[in-house]
Amino acid sequence: MLRVKDHIELAALIASSTSPDAASQSRKLYYDLRVRGGTLEKDMMESRKRILNVVETFQSINQDDTNLVTCPITPYFNLSADSNEEIGLPSTIGRELGFVAHHAIHHMALVKIIAVKTFGIDESEMPNGFGRAPSTIIFEQK
């Protein structure tokens, strides 16, 4: 069972710890069991270190390893606030990596709003498309 502080850290940990024989095993991961209000949310320098560690982890992964993408995994979620029951859904590491990338875009959209409205950062100072779903950008280009 893997529990960490952040969805992306969890995906990086799972992807980097998958061995070539992992396809015969199903791992469990718990997205909702994470530390809230910790240093990631309060300390910019610590957050930066953690982001750079995740980047290094992803860079170290053998991207040609098809076993990594197809490795079975069971993520567990709380789908109701009325119950403590977590639901496990069969998945693969590749699918979960896609999920966290897609999920992060929504967080970046909020970061963009805060940066522009609260800190007065000009939108042109941000990377093109920051906080916007690729499907939205593609739609608007048509």
What does residue 77 show for φ and ψ, rounded to 5 degrees? -135, 145
Q: Tell me how far apart the alpha carbons of residues 125 and 128 are, in angstroms, rounded to a whole number.
A: 9
For residue 5, pLDDT over 60 is answered with: no
pTM of the model: 0.72
For residue 103, pLDDT over 70 is answered with: yes
pLDDT: is 127 or 40 the higher one? Answer: 127
Q: Are 87 and 77 in contact (CB under 8 A)?
A: yes
Question: What pLDDT, on a 0 to 100 scale, did the predictor assign at position 83?
Answer: 83
Mean pLDDT of 107-117: 92
Question: What pLDDT, on a 0 to 100 scale, did the predictor assign at position 21?
Answer: 54
Q: At what angle do helices 7-17 and 44-60 cross, to 10 degrees?
A: 30
Boundaries of every domain in the chain: 7-101
The predicted-structure confidence for 44-82, as pLDDT tens digits, reads as follows 888 788 888 888 877 777 665 656 778 888 888 888 888
